[in-house]
Amino acid sequence: MNKLHVLSVASEVYPWVKTGGLGDVVGALPAALAAEGIATRTLVPGYPAVIDAMRHATTAHSYAELQGGPARVIAGRAGGLELFALDAPHLFARPGNPYLGPDGRDWPDNALRFAALGAVAADIGRGAVHGFTPQVVHAHDWQAGLAPAFLHYGGGQRPATVMTVHNLAFQGQFPRELLATIGLPPGAFAVDGVEYYGTIGYLKAGLALADRITTVSPTYAAEIRSVANGMGLDGLLRERHEALSGILNGIDTGVWDPATDRNLASPYDAKHLKARAANKAALQARLGLAPDPDALLFGVVSRLTWQKGMDLLLAALPALDAQGAQFALLGTGDAALETGFANAALERSGRAAVVIGYDETIAHMMQGGADAILVPSRFEPCGLTQLCALRYGALPVVARAGGLADTVVDANEMALSSRAGTGIVFAPDSADALAIAVERTAMLWRDRTAWRALQRRAMATDVSWSRAAARYAALYRALTAKRTA
Ligand code: ADP
Ligand code: GLC
């Protein structure tokens, strides 16, 4: 098959810039796509960590002026990826969170920063970089949402475009007065263009103008077509339902492999689950939990936000106490939730531990040492922590929403009798339903032989990128075949 060239555009890429799963996906998908004959180059903003990783890069394109200063596109390889970085110091030479300033608020020039990213993606799409003209430009989330718009309004020959929604809650809305500054023609401010409730909507633009729309699980693709879950964009998504599909994420099974994980005291696989006990002991020791192998240990690795149902979890903690379970949480986010969990840990000395912060080592230790991983999200486009949990044999206890519903098979009576089930799935999204899910998990825990069988099945789930890569490849090929036909 012919090689197909894709430009992937995003504002995060693991391991250099990551605030959540978006970075993981953008970092891992290209390697999986390569096996399908798709050559991907990834364009990201030149944040300090990215520029640092690309010390041997070459200049691929220059701008005398781009949104208020000189800029260039640099090209190079890093961490196995073919990267383009938009080196524009006046926009991106800012350490820390990619979207927020030191005061914790959005950078005031975010509209310009990500307009620049979209415009440069469109330029590369049209051949600005010598020797690389992609057949597909694939934009991820609102930060890249203007790429399809610039390509659409630029006229003439253009590559095919795909817009992927990782989270509909983040939409990138800016004042209409910026239209000319951003570089879009007056006609773009229209219902079938970038206009969104009187503002400019970056995600809306991508959803309206890309040739195809994908999101990161089939269930989320269905959910976002409803008023209840569409966050204002459901009308457009219903209208474009033929262009919309859900492709389930995978995880990087090299980064997440319990058999080789250097963060674990005792690496293991499905055939050697006894070796897992040492990881539970190490986690308990590291977090100051009582060294009790028999206490059912629930872990959480999450942003602490409303989306993730963390307030429900806080309310359901007495259900864990009632089961004599232990609780370990790693996360950052809303101040009220951080305080709530910190206090809950103080009240449960030796039985609950809360680490407020971002820490990859502890994230791996949680997956390798906790007995179960809780993901009680109110909505979840895909979710990656439950995929890691499956791979590590930490049984996922998840809400029946979005990608959580698509990836975890509830271990109910019928599932168990037909040797299926890989975790616990609960609904509705309430503290009571979560408490009952905790009780169900504890019931399963009492029968260690059955628990082991569940762990083995969880670990046998294919959470790699291979199926998703085949689907994206098919999508790209269908799109480009149509254009050349
Ligand atoms: P989202 O992108 O909505 O936050 P995902 O489940 O898709 O949720 O991805 C979250 C990713 O971020 C996972 O790789 C998870 O391990 C990681 N993560 C989240 N919080 C932390 C944290 N406090 N420390 C380390 N890793 C974290
Ligand atoms: C978003 C979603 C999460 C998804 C991730 C990667 O951050 O909240 O559910 O797994 O993107 O697609």
CA of 269 to the centre of ligand 2 (A): 27
Question: Is the domain of 65 the same as that of 114?
Answer: yes
Which residue's CA is the closest to the ligand 1 atom numbered 19?
302
Which residue's CA is the closest to the ligand 1 atom numbered 14?
21
User: What is the CB < 6 Å shell around ligand 1?
Assistant: 20-21, 24, 301-303, 330-332, 358-360, 363, 382-385
Question: Is the domain of 319 the same as that of 244?
Answer: no
CA of 297 to the centre of ligand 1 (A): 19
Amino acid 88: pLDDT: 98
Indicate the pLDDT class of residue 167, thresholds 50, 70 and 90: very high
Question: Is the domain of 311 the same as that of 170?
Answer: no
Sorted by sequence, the CB contacts under 8 Å of residue 238 that are 6+ apart come out as 225
CA 390 – CA 143 distance, rounded (Å): 31
For ligand 2, pick from 14, 19, 22, 252 the residue to mutate: most ligand atoms within 8 Å of CB. 22
Q: Is the distance from the beta carbon of residue 381 to the nearest atom of ligand 2 less than 6 Å? A: yes
Q: Is the distance from the beta carbon of residue 303 to the nearest atom of ligand 2 less than 6 Å? A: no
Question: Is the domain of 237 the same as that of 293?
Answer: no
Question: Is the domain of 340 the same as that of 471?
Answer: no
For ligand 2, pick from 140, 163, 167 the residue to mutate: most ligand atoms within 8 Å of CB. 167
Q: Is residue 255 part of a domain?
A: no
Contact 197, 174 (CB under 8 A): no
Residue 94's identity, in one-letter code, is: R
CA of 23 to the centre of ligand 1 (A): 10
CA of 25 to the centre of ligand 1 (A): 11
Q: Which two tokens stand for residue 321?
A: 């106490």
Question: Is the domain of 434 the same as that of 471?
Answer: no
Q: Is the distance from the beta carbon of residue 20 to the nearest atom of ligand 2 less than 6 Å? A: yes
pLDDT in tens, 330-378: 999 999 999 999 999 999 999 999 999 999 999 999 999 999 999 999 9
Amino acid 484: pLDDT: 62
* pLDDT at position 313 over 60: yes
Question: Residue 22 CA: which ligand 2 atom is closest?
Answer: 6
pLDDT in tens, 255-312: 999 999 999 999 999 999 999 999 999 999 999 999 999 999 999 999 999 999 999 9
Domain total of the chain: 2
The 3-state secondary structure of the chain, one letter per residue: CCCEEEEEECCCECCCECCCHHHHHHHHHHHHHHCCCEEEEEEEECCHHHHHHCCCCEEEEEECCCCCCCEEEEEEEECCEEEEEEECHHHHCCCCCCCECCCCCECCCHHHHHHHHHHHHHHHHCCCCCCCCCCEEEEECHHHCHHHHHHHHCCCCCCEEEEEECCCCCCCEECHHHHHHHCCCHHHCCCCCCEECCEEEHHHHHHHHCCEEEECCHHHHHHCCCCCCCCCCHHHHHHCHHHEEECCCCCCCCCCCCCCCCCCCCCCCHHHHHHHHHHHHHHHHHHCCCCCCCCCEEEEEEEECCCCCHHHHHHHHHHHHHCCCEEEEEEEECHHHHHHHHHHHHCCCCCEEEEECCCHHHHHHHHHHCCEEEECCCCCCCCCHHHHHHHHCCEEEEECCHHHHHHCCECCHHHHHCCCCCEEEECCCCHHHHHHHHHHHHHHHHCHHHHHHHHHHHHHCCCCCHHHHHHHHHHHHHHHHHHHC
Q: Is residue 259 part of a domain?
A: no
Query: Which residue is it, tokens 């029946």?
Result: 400
* pLDDT at position 485 over 60: no
Q: Is the distance from the beta carbon of residue 251 to the nearest atom of ligand 2 less than 6 Å? A: no
Q: Is residue 267 part of a domain?
A: no
Amino acid 204: pLDDT: 98
* pLDDT at position 37 over 60: yes
Q: Is residue 385 part of a domain?
A: yes
Average pLDDT over residues 425-446: 98
Question: Is the domain of 92 the same as that of 175?
Answer: yes
Q: Is the distance from the beta carbon of residue 246 to the nearest atom of ligand 2 less than 6 Å? A: no
Question: Is the domain of 199 the same as that of 85?
Answer: yes
Amino acid 1: pLDDT: 60
For ligand 1, pick from 12, 165, 305, 385 the residue to mutate: most ligand atoms within 8 Å of CB. 385
Residue 196's identity, in one-letter code, is: Y
Q: Is the distance from the beta carbon of residue 21 to the nearest atom of ligand 2 less than 6 Å? A: yes
Question: Is the domain of 315 the same as that of 373?
Answer: yes
CA 433 – CA 421 distance, rounded (Å): 19
Q: Is residue 262 part of a domain?
A: no
Question: Residue 307 CA: which ligand 2 atom is closest?
Answer: 8
* pLDDT at position 2 over 80: no
CA 386 – CA 399 distance, rounded (Å): 11
CA 248 – CA 221 distance, rounded (Å): 10
CA of 20 to the centre of ligand 1 (A): 5
CA of 452 to the centre of ligand 2 (A): 29
CATH value at residue 281: 3.40.50.2000
pLDDT in tens, 55-75: 899 999 999 999 999 999 999
* pTM listed for this prediction: 0.97
CA 469 – CA 247 distance, rounded (Å): 9
Alpha-carbon Rg of the chain, whole angstroms? Answer: 23
Closest to 42 (Cα-Cα) out of 147, 171, 196: 147
CA of 78 to the centre of ligand 2 (A): 23
Question: Is the domain of 279 the same as that of 231?
Answer: no
Q: Residue 277 belongs to what domain range?
A: 273-459
Which residue's CA is the closest to the ligand 2 atom numbered 5?
21
For ligand 1, pick from 249, 300, 367, 384 the residue to mutate: most ligand atoms within 8 Å of CB. 384
Cα–chain center distance at 344: 28
Q: Is residue 27 part of a domain?
A: yes
Closest to 44 (Cα-Cα) out of 80, 79, 74, 6: 74
Which residue's CA is the closest to the ligand 2 atom numbered 7?
21
Question: Is the domain of 18 the same as that of 159?
Answer: yes
Q: Is residue 21 part of a domain?
A: yes
Burial (CB < 10 A; 0-12, 13-18, 19+), residue 208, is: buried
Give 446-452's long-range contacts (Cβ < 8 A, gap of 24+): 450/416, 451/371, 451/395, 452/273
Question: Is the domain of 294 the same as that of 417?
Answer: yes
Average pLDDT over residues 124-142: 97
Amino acid 155: pLDDT: 84
Q: Is residue 258 part of a domain?
A: no
